[in-house]
Amino acid sequence: MNQPNNDLRLAAAGRGVPLWKIAEALGITDSSFSRKLRHELSPEEKQKIYIIIERIAEERSNG
């Protein structure tokens, strides 16, 4: 069975972005973000998270 939001998890892992950093950028705790990922997110929420993943990855590569 496919895990909900697996596309987000793979995108974050592929860019070397830990989930806790995404949670921090969203202003929520790591555990809250993990619970949020248990259910498929809306396309709008996913887009927001993809943008955060890219921003964090860029910051790391420019760091």
Contacts of 40 (CB under 8 A, 6+ apart): 4, 5
Residue range 7-42, pLDDT digits in tens: 999 999 999 999 999 999 999 999 999 999 999 999
**Residue 63 confidence (pLDDT) above 80:** no
pTM of the model: 0.91
What confidence score (pLDDT) does residue 29 get?
98
Name the nearest CA neighbour of 57 among 23, 27, 24, 13: 13
Whether residue 50 has pLDDT greater than 90: yes
